Structure 1
Amino acid sequence: MIVVMKPNASEEQIQKVAQRIESYGLKVHFSRGTEVTILGVIGDDRIINRDQLVHMEGVDKLIPVLKPYKLASREFHPENTVFEINGIQVGGERIVVIAGPCAVESREQILEAAQRVKEAGAHMLRGGAYKPRTSPYSFQGLGEEGLRFLKEASELTGLPVVTEVMDIQTLPLVAEYADILQIGARNMQNFPLLHAVGESQKPVLLKRGMSSTLEELLMSAEYILTHGNHRVILCERGIRTFENFTRNTLDINAAPALKMLSHLPVFIDPSHGTGRWELVEPVSRAAVAAGADGLIIEVHPRPDQALSDGAQSLTPERFSALMQNLAPVAQAVGRSL
């Protein structure tokens, strides 16, 4: 349930309503808009005496929330969530582009990649220090050494770092180096990990599971939001279908659908979504046109030598061309790069 206050409701009236809700053992989430304040009731609100609540001073109306995800719902938070990471606004007018290699392979490789994507206009740097791989014989990442290389690249270029955290045990270490914690598709429903990243209060980029519905993605985001960590980015990275020409099937519907259902920023990963570098640029343009707030793109100085995901990685030159070609699309939908 949400409580919509009247436009002229005083702060004292708002606080009295919140105290009444909390007296039932429930929690309150405040959403303060330009016109009205909305109080989201978190918990089993069936115990509330609604007749008393609706007649309290300053209350306009009570609206039931039927969706199982409350904090992630646009009903709870009608306006888009916009937040800053190292001075970069996420969820606002600018399309945020995260770029870099799938995995940190060496100091030289990540420093070169970081400099090249920075020159092309990227806003943040991606790179995996810990890599979840289908085969146990595939490259698993450099671990803490990779995190140190990422930090050095960040300090050199000024780009904030986005890197994946795979488990609770390595979370404190990864959080020391990362500006954004990425939860990969395989961990989207790792609920203990979701609780832990929520408690960390670090920004989180939450990727959709390969066979997960949009509602399941939003319910996973809810785990993070319940800890008061509201800097959550939803990321569509392709789902598993019968199609085998592409690595996954990018659900372009996810961008406008998630924006309809939720107030959280929505990013698209065209690299994992297609698995083919030739498709990354056209799908990136489609994602921006569909309303995505950002992109996460794999860029490697030498994709033919990459230890992981070389087939879907752009060269720095191709990434630079993509950024130039994205600009008019962003402008056409009232956004910028």
Structure 2
Amino acid sequence: MIIVMKTGASESQIREVIRRIEELGYQAHIIEGAQRTVIGAVGDERGKDRLQSLEVMPGVDTVVPILQPFKLASREVKGGKSIVRVGDLEIGGPAVVVMAGPCSVESEAQMLQTAQAVKAAGATVLRGGAFKPRTSPYAFQGLAEEGLKFLDAARAATGLKIITEVVNPMDVELVAAYADILQIGARNVQNFALLKRAGEVGKPVLLKRGMATTIKEFLMAAEYILSEGNYNVALCERGIRTFETSTRFTLDLSAVPVLNKLTHLPVIVDPSHGTGHWDYVAPMAKASVACGADGLLIEVHPTPETAQSDGLQSLKLTKFQQLMDELRPIALAVGRRL
């Protein structure tokens, strides 16, 4: 249920509604709007009829059932778009946010060179994996905290925000101490212990869609983070597994307008993982902006031929600059900017 407060409802009236929601055994989630406050009551569906009685409380305008199973992520609970705030950076606003960098952090020099180049091209977030979940246990697994320190040094030198993946619930606090945005990868989209821990720690989260995850399952995964009180969540479409073998995955760009219809959360697209080949990244990045993506996550490496992971899908620095130049008029054509 969502409890819509009247315009001008007092703080004491809002607090009393929250007290009553919790007394009935539900969690109260406050969503501040421009004109009025909405309170989401989340819990056991079997007792929802008891919440209808809240409509007679002072300051309450109406009590409305949320039909979607993803209660807090649904457009029903918040009609407009949410803005994920990362310091002074806004994800989901007028600007298309570009996050760029290598798949894996390999050295401090590599990260500094990449950070300087992607910032000059117009990116505002530096990506790089310090912890790497790999299909093979024998593949490069990342530099762990040493890699986080290299990211931190690149941020200090350039002012870029940093996003990096957290793999293990036990590492959430460590990664959060360095990262501006926590990334939860496709393989962990239904690692519920990790999702809940990421919700508890409070840092902005970028949640990637799993390679065989339906949109409903994707939004239910986001609900785990939101239900812990962390509303700074963005979603990332990164390709799904189909019968096609000419690309690494099938980048499901139809997911972007579908998600924009179903949820208020910002939507990012990763054309690097979605295609698996650098030559296809630019066309799909342009299509992503054209169909309503709020941001892009792009793999960029100074020397992709020597990359520890995903070199084939990484853009060289000059190619990334070219892509950014080509994206600007497309963003303007759809009423956005980079």
Number of the residue aligned with 1:3: 3
Take 1:190 and 1:21, find their aligned partners in 2: how far apart are those partners?
A: 29
Take 2:199 and 2:189, find their aligned partners in 1: how far apart are those partners?
A: 13
1:173-213 deviation per Cα after TM superposition (whole angstroms, max 9, x unaligned): 22221111111100111111111111111111110010001
Number of the residue aligned with 1:232: 233
SS of residue matched to 2:31: strand
Take 2:58 and 2:151, find their aligned partners in 1: how far apart are those partners?
A: 54
1:219-252 deviation per Cα after TM superposition (whole angstroms, max 9, x unaligned): 1111111111111111010000000001000110
**Counterpart amino acid of 1:44?**
D
Alignment check: 8 A CA contact 2:85 2:204 kept: no
Compute the displacement of 1:89 (Å).
1.1
Number of the residue aligned with 1:41: 41
Compute the displacement of 1:56 (Å).
3.0
Number of the residue aligned with 1:108: 109
SS of residue matched to 1:150: helix
**Counterpart amino acid of 2:209?**
R
Alignment check: 8 A CA contact 1:103 1:128 kept: yes
Matches within 5 A, 1:131-150: 131-150=132-151
Take 1:321 and 1:239, find their aligned partners in 2: how far apart are those partners?
A: 27
Take 1:53 and 1:77, find their aligned partners in 2: how far apart are those partners?
A: 19
Alignment check: 8 A CA contact 1:26 1:45 kept: no
Number of the residue aligned with 2:26: 26
TM-score w.r.t. the length of structure 1 is 0.95
Take 1:312 and 1:291, find their aligned partners in 2: how far apart are those partners?
A: 23
Take 1:263 and 1:51, find their aligned partners in 2: how far apart are those partners?
A: 25
Take 1:200 and 1:30, find their aligned partners in 2: how far apart are those partners?
A: 18
Mapped pair 1:190 → 2:191 = yes
**Counterpart amino acid of 1:298?**
E
Take 1:49 and 1:227, find their aligned partners in 2: how far apart are those partners?
A: 23
Compute the displacement of 1:101 (Å).
0.5
SS of residue matched to 2:169: coil
SS of residue matched to 2:80: coil
- CA RMSD, Structure 1 to Structure 2 (Å): 1.6
Mapped pair 1:283 → 2:284 = yes
Compute the displacement of 1:10 (Å).
4.3
Take 2:45 and 2:134, find their aligned partners in 1: how far apart are those partners?
A: 43
Residues 31/173 of structure 1: CA separation in 2 closer, same or farther (3 Å cut) = closer
Take 2:59 and 2:177, find their aligned partners in 1: how far apart are those partners?
A: 45
1:54-100 deviation per Cα after TM superposition (whole angstroms, max 9, x unaligned): 33344333221121111111111222111321311111111100000
TM-score w.r.t. the length of structure 2 is 0.95
Alignment check: 8 A CA contact 1:161 1:180 kept: yes
Take 1:27 and 1:199, find their aligned partners in 2: how far apart are those partners?
A: 15
SS of residue matched to 2:126: strand
Matches within 5 A, 1:251-290: 251-290=252-291
Take 1:166 and 1:8, find their aligned partners in 2: how far apart are those partners?
A: 44
Take 2:256 and 2:317, find their aligned partners in 1: how far apart are those partners?
A: 26
Matches within 5 A, 1:40-59: 40-44=40-44, 46-47=46-47, 48-49=49-50, 52-59=53-60
Number of the residue aligned with 1:242: 243
Moved more, 15-24 or 177-186: 15-24
Take 1:122 and 1:51, find their aligned partners in 2: how far apart are those partners?
A: 47
Take 1:97 and 1:3, find their aligned partners in 2: how far apart are those partners?
A: 36
**Counterpart amino acid of 2:4?**
V
SS of residue matched to 2:170: coil
- Which blocks of at least 5 consecutive residues in structure 2 are unaligned? none
SS of residue matched to 1:169: helix
1:117-171 deviation per Cα after TM superposition (whole angstroms, max 9, x unaligned): 1111110000111111112222221222111111111111111111111102322
Compute the displacement of 1:32 (Å).
2.7
Mapped pair 1:80 → 2:69 = no
Number of the residue aligned with 1:130: 131
Taking only the aligned residue pairs, the percentage that are identical comes to 57
Moved more, 11-20 or 308-317: 11-20
**Counterpart amino acid of 2:29?**
H
SS of residue matched to 1:240: coil
Alignment check: 8 A CA contact 1:33 1:79 kept: no
Moved more, 43-52 or 174-183: 43-52
SS of residue matched to 1:324: helix
Mapped pair 1:216 → 2:183 = no
Number of the residue aligned with 1:318: 319
**Counterpart amino acid of 1:314?**
L
SS of residue matched to 2:41: strand
